Structure 1
Amino acid sequence: MKHPLPAHPEHICVLRLSALGDVCNLVPTVRALQHQWPQARITWIIGKGEHSLLSGLSGVEFVVYDKQTGLAGMRELWRRLGNTRFDVLLHMQQSLRASVLSLGLKARTRIGFDKARSKDWQHCFTRYHLEPHPRAHVLESFMDFARRLGVDPAITSRRPEWGLPIPEEAYEEARRLSGESPYLLISPCANPRLRNFRNWSAEGYAAVIEHAWTQYGLKALLTGGGSTKEREMGARIVALAPPEAVIDTIGGISLKTLLALIDRARLVIAPDSGPVHMANALDTPTIGLYATTNVERAGPYLWRHMVVDCYPEAVRTYLHKEVDELPWGQRVRHPDAMSLIHAEDVIARLDILLSESVNEA
């Protein structure tokens, strides 16, 4: 039996496990649901690392699933939620793992992506589906769940809201690392996954750092995870840049401290990765470096106009097509794609943002 969508849901389940940038882009949908139904309970099933970023989000009950625990972890989560019945499950993770996980959840009805946006047979695991929305940004794709559930268009069309929680101890650690002088934050590496060619060059970052230091007296604070590749990139940047202009924190901070550092930064520079979406959520000026990913689908939502966008050129150079000939969201998986980004283009955007901040002051 296909139950109708609830007009006034009392308990909403959000299923989205990963990744850092995506969960940041999902938060405005949660805020829209809260505006429409302020008394409704919202339970978000989320990944372990992503929870460490969003923990404390107001009005949300988190249930953490660590994908490293596999089926045993799923069974434990099902046991934990065995007596919980949701009015609606918003299945917002396009992966077979998440779909299998959804099978053990008790929900009156389920909403998933439409066929055009569905992956890994997710369409088969849900009863209701989104209305088609060709060429939607990731944030808008998530907001489509609120629209499908019946949230007022006046709410879903307004400027996105986040309100990410940052504890005072994270700000204290950020001040300890950065000092009181203004700085720009650079997160040079994307997630070190197979064929994830999103990283720019150490030489390019060093040129930008030297310009920011000599022209504005701004130090660059480097952030990132603790992988060998990220540490090596940080070491290379430090070796090339003016030594007094760099603070290297790669591999040494929590995600909450990273949020605090981003919130205090004059601006953020990073490739398509979590930090550009964190900066976007905190309304910190953001320069995204994009060549392998379509900016209109996955750029920092409020700062897409400041992205150094070489994706169209990369599509022509390495795929021998135009962007509108590709499936929406297709990446350019070529190791040389990011070399299309030139330091002078990044510096030009840095100059624009810093001159705007000076004029506003």
Structure 2
Amino acid sequence: MGSETRAEFGGSAEQSRLVGPVLERFRNVRRIAVLRGGGLGDLMFALPAVEALRATYPEAAITLLGTPLSAALLKDRPGPISRAEILPYAEGVRPGVPDAAAVEEFFTGMVREKFDLAVQLHGGGRNSNPFLLRLEARHTVGSRTADAAALERTIPYVYYQHEVFRALEVVGLAGAEPQSLEPRLEVTPEETAAATERLGGTAPLVGIHPGATDPRRRWPASSFAAVAALAAGDGSRVVVVGDDGDAAAADEIVRLALASAPGTDIRSLAGKLSLGELTGVLEACAVLVGNDSGPRHLAQAVGTPTVGIYWIGNVINAGALGRTLHRVHLSWVTVCPVCGVDVTQVGWTAERCEHDDSLVHAVRPADVYEDVRELTATSLLLRGR
């Protein structure tokens, strides 16, 4: 390891056998803050890193600085995170109209916590590193682009890297060795009971989630409907899930699927489930089919097999690592189908074009259903049914 890299890391390093260098642990760490905003998937990507911190600093209280969604999901849930604090609206940290008074109130309260270690798992650091530094923690670690503020120990932010590995490399700077490479989330008995009441029935349950934050990551409703019809025709129950924004697509999927498989059990619960109920429903599924989206990542975290529809760039950053329980179907499109602009640089070094046409529309429903069928059987075997 060269002298420049050692200086960047801020100390000597031992090479981890799993991912990245692991540096010397900090001493007397009793309070840890972890900055990770974003959606459900972003939180799931951070969980293995938080597990590593918990194992390394077992006496420390770990506070997640996140979104209302994260706070709601983690409330009263067993796991490595002690509590969640909701971030104020701030540029590049939590989207919304910034409120200077709320930001100052947030930092006043957080500085009083006297964090020993603050961990930045929120991107390249242009906005998140200055935000983290305002916590006034004794030690800081994170990733950074060349133009981002420096922390005590940093790794370079390289866009095309799996987010789980990126987060694990960051906490390795604090001496934390990986405990797992996949997110894990414990489902509560109340969530399981709520899902059972919602769902009824005993046939295998195939879940479908048609949403994604970026519309270019969305597989067409007609393709999801074809999979739903095939699953229902083979005797499975099918449930489409999502938030209010997914309800129209979910209704279209149900309509098209029932037209192909009349009299079967295909329905939508999109926009009708609380976050806890969604968690329980995802656990109840034999398999979930979805785009690169939060519910797919949440399903994986609660132990449900998944079939994901991915654009090739997204699978690098967010695809499931294993293939025994998780399958991915890739679109190899590299240019916008409308204007021809190179989409492989979007979010990294180039501005996004204005077109929202799907980059994954060419993925074939018959191929997806083959994995659904196989994983349904695998899931039932693992669950002793």
**TM-score, normalising length: structure 2:** 0.79
Alignment partner, residue 231 of structure 2: 212
**How far apart, in 1, do the equivalents of 2:97 and 2:359 lie?**
35
Aligned to 1:349: 371
Q: Is the 8 A contact 1:7 1:150 kept in 2?
A: no
Q: Per the alignment, in what secondary structure is the counterpart of residue 122 of structure 2? A: coil
> SS state of the match for residue 111, structure 2?
coil
State the secondary structure of the residue aligned to 1:136: coil
* Higher share of residues assigned helix: 1
The one-letter code of the counterpart of 1:39 is E
The secondary structure found in structure 2 opposite 1:62 is strand
1:109 maps onto 2:134 in alignment:
no
Contact 1:26 1:139 in 2 (8 A): yes
Counterpart residue identity of residue 88, structure 1: L
Query: Residue 8 of structure 1 contacts residue 37 of structure 1 at CA under 8 Å; is this kept in 2?
Result: no
RMSD over equivalenced CA pairs, Å: 3.1
Distance in structure 1 (CA, Å) of the matches to 2:44 and 2:84? 15
Higher mean Cα deviation, 131-140 or 278-287? Answer: 131-140
* Deviation of 1:247 (Å): 2.1
Aligned residue type for 2:248: E
CA gap 1:88/1:335 in 2 versus in 1, 3 angstroms: same
Match of 1:14 among 17, 22, 34: 34
Quote the offset at 1:7 in angstroms. Answer: 4.0
**What is the aligned length?**
342
Q: Deviations over 1:122-156 (max 9, x none)?
A: x315232126778431101011122111124xxx1
- 2:211 paired residue number: 189
* 1:47 positional shift: 0.8
Cα offset for 1:69?
6.7
In structure 2, C-alpha distance between the alignment counterparts of 1:135 and 1:358, rounded to whole Å = 35
The runs of 5 or more residues in structure 2 that have no matched partner are 1-7, 12-24, 90-95
Q: Call closer, same or farther: CA 1:295–1:161 in 2, change over 3 Å.
A: closer
Give, in angstroms, the shift of residue 285 of structure 1.
0.5
Give the structure 2 partner of residue 88 of structure 1: 117
The answer to whether the Cα contact below 8 Å between 2:217 and 2:358 also exists between their aligned partners in 1 is no
Q: Alignment identity in percent?
A: 23
Q: Once structures 1 and 2 are overlaid, which stretch shifts more, 179-188 or 79-88?
A: 79-88
Give the distance between the partners of 1:51 and 1:80, measured in 2 at CA.
Answer: 17
1:124 — aligned with what? 149
Q: CA deviation at 1:291?
A: 2.2
Q: CA deviation at 1:169?
A: 2.7
**1:73 counterpart (99, 102, 109):** 102
Secondary structure in structure 1 of the residue aligned to 2:59: coil
Structure 1: 5+ residue runs without aligned partners? none
Counterpart position of 2:221: 202
Residue in structure 1 matched with residue 169 of structure 2 by the alignment: 144
Which secondary structure does the structure 2 equivalent of 1:33 belong to? helix
Preserved CA contact (<8 Å) 1:267 1:285: yes
